[in-house]
Structure 1
Amino acid sequence: MNDPYERSAEYIDIMIADAWDAFAPSLAEALGGVDAVEGTIVDLGAGSGRGVRAACAALPDDSPVLAVEPSPALRAVLLARVHEDARLRRRVTVDSGDALNTPLPDSIRALLAMNMIGHLPPGQRQELWARVAPRLAPGGRVILNLAPPTTPAHVPPSLMANLAMGDLTYEGWASAEPSGDHQITWHMTYRTLRQGRPLSEVTVEYAWWVLDEPELARELAEHGLSLRPAGQPDLGLYVASLASEGSEFKG
């Protein structure tokens, strides 16, 4: 398997920490009411496990959690995060598959797809929704985010993270260029510095499929799911539920 995070995984978890400080409260709010729903929590593209930890904190029962992460490098961090917490060890199963080939539970109370939808081209997204919709329990939620840009656009180089640990500083830079009608290519640079002097630099690039809220809503509607924004607008967070629930959807 080609692992796009093989060279950057050592930086990912520390550089998304601040973002998850913002996501976690909105995720907890989006999960409001799901405590009464039976089934499994599924986290697709669970990465280093910050979403798993936030979901389990929001729903602190003993219901099972399936964390799916195909990247061996990120999965190593995920496994370590689950193992260090006794409650997570009891609840969380880590699967090395991906969103399209991992067997899903018959009843899903909540499905997370955070920072991963852009890895799927339109046809694969349709395949994913077709797998998820019949398994979503009444009252269940699909929670995902759309990271900017939502249309193919140039993104100038920008500093996305800067943090100090010990006597080293770690920087993460990002830029992007359009690479198709619905696609961009991200260019990521990770630097390690001591007192401002570069010690190492890792550069990676990967394709990312973009879509906006109306397009996502149309896709989900084809599979009987309705969409609404959630949390702070700048988070790009959305919740989908069974359209048949209509105005009964709360939270």
Structure 2
Amino acid sequence: MTDPYAGSAEYLDLLIAGFWEAAAPDVASVLAELPPGSGAVVDLGAGSGRGVRVLGEAVPGVPVVAVEPSAVMRAALMPRIVDDPDLRDRVTVLPGGALDEVLPGEVRAVLALNMLGHLTGPERRELLERVLRALVPGGVLVTNLAPPFEPVTVPRALMARTEVGELVYEGYASAEPSGADGLVWRMEYRTLRGDAEISAVTVEYPWCVCSEEELVAEATALGFGVRRVGDPALGLHVLGRSSAGASALA
């Protein structure tokens, strides 16, 4: 299977930093509400490890499982773990996809950020079922939804820009519909020195769209309660398992 990040990995950690700067406080606040216990916490689609770091800091002293299928992203993830003595003792990195790996027993929290669209609708529902079975009462799944929520054309736009040393790194995104619930994203990355472009790469990958209404319907049918958290622009949703059953979106 082709690794969709093989060509763009050098840009991804840099250009996703802004998302995590905005989202990390809200994610940490949700994790601070977890019930006490020794159960593991899990990051599905761990990427370069920014979410793993948030888990490690917000839920101290418990095992962390990082699931990441991309070899090039694991190459960025592992140094972030190995260079932190606490994370090195606690984090296990698994190389499969979200549906390839068996979740540990008594999971207290699962992060699934910026990755749901890599799953088809049936795969997404299977993931929700698996997470629900693994979560302890009071445990949560934290995920996010980003537009578009239906298969439409997305005009090319600058998504992120950052400077490191003398260089500027930019990421542009556009998309075209593909089927009843899919898109093909076209991601263009550039490295600039002054006005000169010194390197560039373009990658394409499929993405399954999911609206908030769809997610809520699927989650509540299984017995999750669903609530929004944080800045609406981040699309963060918390799916909680409780003995009281599901609740409406709050």
In structure 2, the partner of 1:20 is: 20
The answer (yes or no) to whether the contact 1:146–1:236 under 8 Å persists in 2 is yes
Unaligned runs of 5+ in 2: none
Aligned ranges for residues 41-60 of structure 1 at < 5 Å? Answer: 41-59=41-59
User: Quick one: which amino acid aligns to residue 232 of structure 1?
Assistant: D
Is the CA contact (8 Å cut-off) linking 2:55 and 2:64 kept in structure 1? no
Partner of 1:190: 189
CA distance in 2, matches of 1:109, 1:85: 22
Q: Contact between 1:184 and 1:207, CA under 8 Å: does it hold in 2? A: yes
CA 1:78–1:35 in 2, change beyond 3 Å: closer, same or farther? farther
Map 1:166-181; keep pairs closer than 5 Å: 166-181=165-180
CA distance in 2, matches of 1:240, 1:62: 23
- Paired position in structure 1 for 2:32: 32
Q: State the distance in 2 between where 1:211 and 1:14 align.
A: 26
Work out the CA distance in 2 between the residues paired with 1:247 and 1:124: 21
Q: State the TM-score, normalized to the length of structure 1.
A: 0.94
Aligned residue pairs, count: 249
Q: Is this contact kept in 2: 1:145–1:236, CA < 8 A? A: yes
Which residue does 1:64 correspond to in 2?
63
Q: Which moved more, 1:128-137 or 1:203-212?
A: 128-137
State the shift of 1:64 in Å: 0.2
Match of 2:119? 120
Q: List runs of 5+ in structure 1 lacking aligned partners.
A: none
CA deviations on 1:188-241 (whole Å, 9 max, x unpaired) are: 001111111111110001111011111001111232212111111111000001
| Percentage of identical aligned residues | 50
CA-based RMSD of the aligned residues comes to: 1.8
- 2: CA distance between counterparts of 1:32 and 1:231? 14
Does structure 2 retain, via aligned residues, the 8 Å contact 1:37–1:140?
Answer: no
Match of 1:89 in 2: 88
Matched, 1:199 2:198: yes
Residue of structure 1 in register with 2:156 after alignment: 157
Aligned counterpart, 2:236: 237
Whole-Å separation in 2 of the counterparts to 1:9 and 1:247: 38
Calculate the TM-score normalised by the size of structure 2.
0.95
